[in-house]
């Protein structure tokens, strides 16, 4: 198991950043400096001497009563909601309707979908590196991208020792396990702003362990990964790029919430307080139009982070809530306004990865109206190679995201079964 210095945790480079004032390319430091407000940049620039150990738990708690504050976008004073305790073991209430899990629509998967997935999986397998990792260039040997690729194979039922691509999943698992540091962080040496990758990797381990709970190595790495997430939650209830409890944004927060849900489904203990505080943070990022901003302090709404916000509430065990309804309405409105032109938008794959999950979890007419459109659109964007193109994060990332989207109706992954 390798050691990771604390300096790794404070590098300001960003992976998969959904910016405050811009939904442009996956940004690094110079890009973030252009899109963030001076107030936000001052919060990011924590001096090295103040950096806490990644395993030091934040001592703050949610106040019993929050003060009302103005929404910086609308000047409208919004009183934050108090958080009711959420029981992740409690079944979904009957009165909120069924998700798409137990209410599939007709022709969810057609022949075109199956052919697209077949070509996509074959192309994705060709991108795997000799060490089991995925990713090229500046995202080479990336634990998070490797985990997303493995999840794409698992979405078709492939597991270590089972299926045509079982060996690809096995090699990816070995790489992710080898990336675990002494702190529990799942990140290879060249990953910066590692909490995105850590969240995706923890989700992957949770899904693997949920399907095969006999691997003690997976349980150990997953348990320590969950502890790191819990210990790096900041005082607002969210997370950000590095495993220290300083600040938060909604994009990283959903990665951690989804990872915690997967781990909890697999039988790993997750603190109820951690979930309750995460819910409070997500709700505090919602604007009056129903969309979600990047951070609590300021920012406009955008559909990719709104999809992430709604999905995170569902995964946190919130099934019936005004925040969810307003967020879903915002998503549908934006989708109708954009049409198929959303492909030209930055964070296309990121946004649809979460949007399709939000609609799947909402179920009913929302799923029935959303799914056929994004399914057909995603298939139409497939390249002749069998993959999907993303010039920022690379084809392994975009292809894995597209394949996960297209295979959600198969319902193989445990995260889509609860």
CB burial of residue 91 (10 Å; 0-12, 13-18, 19+): exposed
Non-local (6+) Cβ contacts of 98 within 8 A are 92, 363, 364
Is residue 221, in this structure, part of any structural domain at all? yes
Quick one: CA torsion of 181, 182, 185, 189, rounded to 10 degrees?
A: -30
Is residue 301, in this structure, part of any structural domain at all? yes
Is residue 66, in this structure, part of any structural domain at all? no
Task: Find the mean pLDDT for residues 207-217.
Answer: 94
**pLDDT tens digits, one per residue of 313-351:** 999 999 888 999 999 999 999 988 776 555 556 789 999
pTM of the model: 0.79
Is residue 65, in this structure, part of any structural domain at all? no
Is residue 173, in this structure, part of any structural domain at all? yes
Alpha-carbon gap, residue 118 to 15, rounded angstroms:
29
Is residue 87, in this structure, part of any structural domain at all? no
If we measure between CA atoms, which residue out of 182, 210, 132 comes closest to residue 1?
182
What total number of domains does the chain contain? 1
Is residue 1, in this structure, part of any structural domain at all? no
Is residue 175, in this structure, part of any structural domain at all? yes
The pLDDT-based confidence of 106 (bands split at 50, 70, 90) is: confident
> What CATH number does the domain containing 401 carry?
1.50.10.20
The pLDDT-based confidence of 104 (bands split at 50, 70, 90) is: confident
Q: Provide the residue range defining the domain that includes 138.
A: 108-416
């Amino acid at each position: 198991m390798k050691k990771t210095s604390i300096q790794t945790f404070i590098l300001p480079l960003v992976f998969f950043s959904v910016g405050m004032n811009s939904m442009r390319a996956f940004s690094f430091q110079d890009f973030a400096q252009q899109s963030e407000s001076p107030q936000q940049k001052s919060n990011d620039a924590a001096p090295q001497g103040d950096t806490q150990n990644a395993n030091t738990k934040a001592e703050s708690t949610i106040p019993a009563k929050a003060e009302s504050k103005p929404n910086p976008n609308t000047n409208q004073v919004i009183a934050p909601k108090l958080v009711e305790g959420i029981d992740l073991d409690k079944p979904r209430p009957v009165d909120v309707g069924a998700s798409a899990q137990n209410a599939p629509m007709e022709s969810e998967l057609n022949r075109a979908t199956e052919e697209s997935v077949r070509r996509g999986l074959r192309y994705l397998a060709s991108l795997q590196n000799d060490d089991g990792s995925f990713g090229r260039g500046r995202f080479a040997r990336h634990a998070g991208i490797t985990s997303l690729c493995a999840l794409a194979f698992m979405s078709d039922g492939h597991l270590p020792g089972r299926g045509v691509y079982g060996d690809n999943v096995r090699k990816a698992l070995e790489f992710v396990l080898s990336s675990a540091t002494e702190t529990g962080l799942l990140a290879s040496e060249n990953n910066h702003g590692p909490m995105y990758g850590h969240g995706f990797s923890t989700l992957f381990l949770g899904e693997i362990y949920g399907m095969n709970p006999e691997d003690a190595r997976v349980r150990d790495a997953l348990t320590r990964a969950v502890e790191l997430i819990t210990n790096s939650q900041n005082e607002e209830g969210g997370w950000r790029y590095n495993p220290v409890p300083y600040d938060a944004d909604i994009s990283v927060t959903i990665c951690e919430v989804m990872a915690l849900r997967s781990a909890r489904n697999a039988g790993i203990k997750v603190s109820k307080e951690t979930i309750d505080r995460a819910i409070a943070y997500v709700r505090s990022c919602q604007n009056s139009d129903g969309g979600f901003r990047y951070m609590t302090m300021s920012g406009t709404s955008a559909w990719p982070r709104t999809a992430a916000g709604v999905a995170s509430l569902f995964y946190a065990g919130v099934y019936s809530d005004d925040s969810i309804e307003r967020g879903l309405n915002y998503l549908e409105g934006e989708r109708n306004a954009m049409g198929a032109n959303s492909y030209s938008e930055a964070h296309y794959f990121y946004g649809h990865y979460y949007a399709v999950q939000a609609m799947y979890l909402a179920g009913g007419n929302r799923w029935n109206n959303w799914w056929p459109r994004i399914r057909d659109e995603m298939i139409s964007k497939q390249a002749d190679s069998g993959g999907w193109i993303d010039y920022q994060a690379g084809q392994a990332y975009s292809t894995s995201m597209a394949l996960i989207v297209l295979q959600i109706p198969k319902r193989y992954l445990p995260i889509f079964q609860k």
